[in-house]
Amino acid sequence: MRTGQTKTFTLKEVLKFLGDAVNDEILIGEQVYRISSCQELGGDGTPARVNIDWVTLELVIESNGENTFFFSETIVDTDSIFLTVNNVVYQYGVSFDYHIQDDRLYWHGPFELERSDRVILKYPSTTF
């Protein structure tokens, strides 16, 4: 808000802004939904709080030209990960700079990594 105050909106309030509040409906894709049938994640009409803890993992480059890195956790939500090399963010995807498969990160960026490079992987660990 212009006053500097923050306001938390419920999902139902956002749907009313985006949809047709008079007819109590919102169109999502080709499907029409009743706004009044929306149930918040909290279940009691109050917004649910989601705490996001970011996991930061430094990937150590053992030798120049290394392009595969092992890490102990499996990352399912690859849309929310960040990889930086020397403080520059790179794009995720097989046709981009890197991708993750199971417990491995594969670097195929625009240059070979060197031992002096600092590679940081950051991803959310979400709890409700």
Strands (E), 40-81: 51-59, 68-70
pLDDT-based confidence at residue 50 (cuts at 50, 70, 90): low
Tokens of 61: 């480059």
Which run of H or E residues covers position 17?
helix 11-18
pLDDT score, position 94? 94
Q: What is the pLDDT of residue 48?
A: 59
The pair of structure tokens assigned to 71 is 């890490």
Q: pLDDT over 90 for what percent of the chain?
A: 42
- Closest Cα partner for 83 from 97, 62, 69, 68? 97
Comparison of pLDDT for 53 and 24, the residue scoring more: 24
- What whole-number distance in Å separates Cα of residue 94 and Cα of residue 107? 9
pLDDT band of residue 8 (cuts 50, 70, 90) is confident
Evaluate if residue 83 carries a pLDDT over 70. Answer: yes
pLDDT single digits (tens) 86-120: 999 999 999 999 999 988 999 999 999 999 999 99
Q: Are 66 and 104 in contact (CB under 8 A)?
A: no
Residue 83 host element (H or E) = strand 82-85
pLDDT-derived band of residue 41, with 50, 70 and 90 as boundaries?
low
* pTM greater than the 0.75 cutoff: no
**So what's the pLDDT on residue 128?**
45
